[in-house]
Structure 1
Amino acid sequence: MLTRLLTIILAGSLIGLSGCSEQTTKEIEVKAKASEQQQVIEKEKKEMEEKKKEEERRKAEEAKPVYVNIIDPNTKSIIKTFNTKDLGFGKDAERYKAEIAKLTRELARGTKETPGYDNRMILDRLDANGQVIQGTPQTILNETDLSEKIMQASAKGGDVEIPLYVTASGYKPEEAAQLGEALVASYTTYFSNGVAGRTKNITLSAEAINNVIVGVGDSFSFNTTVGPSDAEHGYQPAPELLDGKLVDGIGGGICQTSSTLYNAIDQVAVSYIEKNNHSAHVGYVPTGRDATVSYGGKDFRFKNTTGVPVLLKSIVKKGSLTVEVRTAKAYQSLIKKSK
């Protein structure tokens, strides 16, 4: 009996211990799950905080200005600074591209307020003693190259030097003294010597193109060579064609000089950059053989593609203007003639 009672008590104790064990395991499992959930929550919270920080950093980076400095290649000084983001970089690619194109165009060609870097060649010439008077070389700002350089610097900023291409006259200094030796082309026109203003204007413009050296590959511009035909430069009122009618204007007569030059230079193999006819027939050259000019407007321009350097000579006599094209005797047989 006692043995049976002890057995029952022992069994009950074991059952109680078993129940405690099961309860402890469940508690451990619950705590483990809670811990896992807490870790997940904390991980998600940390990720959200990192994303928020990254977003704030990105916004701060976007708001941070990026400056590009445009550098003058001659003085090495900064001539313009701009924030790329103000012009649309990173937000509006087409707008930014258009803004950079406008910027490079203004730097090359200038604005009403500031001159551009592009400059036509002012050709060398001979003085009365046969000495060379230096002109200035042709300078071209390559707009495409500058735009590409700016694009490359736009993300991080930095200095961009303007790409300038400078072309000197296509002749050798030692050739200058011989360029007047051989006559290769000439043309003469006539005018009334009694019209004082017109005679004066023809004389002044003829003097301006006299002894000008046009080297191989050089571009000649009548307006650049002669300059303004206004009263300040000595030009006088004289009849000129305007919209098909003869009217008095300061500088009337200079188109006879440009047209005489055209008929002379047309006998050799030059290529024309710009040539314009009058609105009506002029009496000093055949129809269609004129070249009208107006400073700041229509110009007469050609490129020397004859293969040799040439010298322009102008001779004004009583009632006549002759323009000659000359070169060195050594080049006389080499110069290309017009077909």
Structure 2
Amino acid sequence: MKHRRVLFIAVPIAILLLPLGIYLVDRAVSDDVIARNVTVAGVEVGGLNTADATVAVERYEGDLRASTGVFKVNDATFKLSPVEIGLDADIPTAITAASSARKTGGPIARFAAWIVSFSKQEDIPLDITFDEEAIDDVFTAWERTAVADPAFEGAVTIEAGVVTPQYPATGQGIDRAFARTQVQREMSRLDKSGVVVPVIVIEPVLTDAQIDAAAAELAEMINDPIHLISTDVGFRVTFTPEQLASAAVAEVSEDGTEMVTRFDAETVLKILEPRKSEYEIPPVNAQLDVDFETDVISVVAGRSGTLLDVEGLMASMKEAALGSGTGEFPLIVGAEPDLTTAEAQALTSLKPLGGFTTHHPARQNRVINIQTMADEVDGAIVEPGAVFSLNEYVGPRTEAKGYVADGAIINGVPYCCDHPANIGGGVSQFGTTFFNAVFFSCLEDVEHQPHSLYFDRYPMGREATLGVPGPDVAFRNNTESPVIIKTAYTDTSITVRMYGDNGGLTCTDVTYEKEDIVKFEEELVADELDEIVPGEREKERSGSDGFLVRVDRVVTRPDGSQETDMKLVWRYRPLTELYTVHPCEVTGEPVNCPVQLPSLTDKTWEEALGMLDELGLLAAKTTGFVDDPEKDNIVLTQDPAPGEWVPLGSTIKLTVGVFQEE
């Protein structure tokens, strides 16, 4: 009996708990999808995740957009596409609501909603909006076609400078408030049935007196020229009556209660466009002027840019036209400069950290390049922690920026001047000067590379070359204050100086003696112009020794303690000394050197023959009669002449005297 009683109690309990168990399992497997039997505007989204549900509702929206409505106004029928009136469905909000449906409230409420989901659908509305201005435009177009006697609110027109009032008239028109509701309801559903748009008698709101007043005001606005002035940028403009007439308009106010006059902004801006650069001025950075003798920093004020206050201009034009004929040309503050006057003033307390000067001959192309780069870099400000790169800041050296061709190291040798890399040649001197300013300012070296060859105008091992895209010269501002880079130059020197606050550090160098010196050698190249004779040479390039050099940077703190924070090591390679010589003197050239003819006249035939034989030359003898016995067997002439150079084995024509007694 006991077992039967237990079974009698357990079975009903199990039956009661079965739905709860199914609910818990169903909830566990479907918690990330929309609940069962949920729709959005009738579109089934239950059981879908949000992405799939969005696609389903977007498809419905697409169907709506493709569904054309049919409207009848009087006897005319019109088709209307939802796209024309800007149909837009708020799908994200609807999907969010659908995702929460039947999932809110406590456990009992959610269980109850689950039970209901098997028998009752929950539909989430889809909010659909339209462009009301576009609907009004459609109504206006329909009225022009379908309404024979439309109501008219009046107008004022200008033709050839003549203002003409057009008075209001009673007539028919679409009942816009009611028709707007009809159109929105019809275009928001797929099962369209067609709509008859109501047409009613419309009494104009405006009066003839209001139209006359607007016409009188419009005529006054275009009667005389107006003059507007901006004292801020020194701009003055005059609008002629013809220009004013092209821009003046009268229109019904938004609330429909009055006729208002104004100047059309778009037309006025077209009139002003050719002079836009005169009043819309770009910002001007404040400038830091440094006296290199006293290191005093002063500020040349900058200014913000200016922009046209279009709304203010329309008001100013109307006020001037209806008043004195003059007024303000209104501008507003535009872009701020990269360096404002206030920001520049805050930098005037910075002190010199270090600098460097190098020298050069005057009036060379390379000097133009050095000074052009100096001008570009002058006044640059490097914020704490920032890296300043010469190549990134200056960019490519181009003729358009003022750079010219000069010598550069190309493929390991100095070269000038028809290679693209020659444009901007010589700026490595600025790079060297810049690097040394970084070095002695105790700033952090990020990148630099000495020349492959040593030039004695630079400090050994403490110099830098420049190229595009590299090598580069770059440093990091490792201080807590901005660093200002200032440059100055004369005809024969370039100076770079850094201003900032490095906590009182000073830096000096220790440059060690040259090591591993490799003497330069001579290099001979053949004269291809046939201008150099054997034994002569023309120096084309001086040689330089190769060697290794070490340079340390020693940092001294305000308390006198020191540390070496940079150890530079660089090996310069030797450069051969180059001479142009006769091809026969170049090692390996298969050319025998020519010989220079001595004078053979007044020599005996035998002496001349011997001299030519020693030089590796041949002789061709011709004779000529002489009446002086002392000229007998003596060379009278030679061809080629003495002093000329002839190849070995050449035959020299000699005329030898023969005495013949009478």
- Which TM-score applies when normalising by structure 1? 0.47
Q: Which has the larger radius of gyration?
A: 2
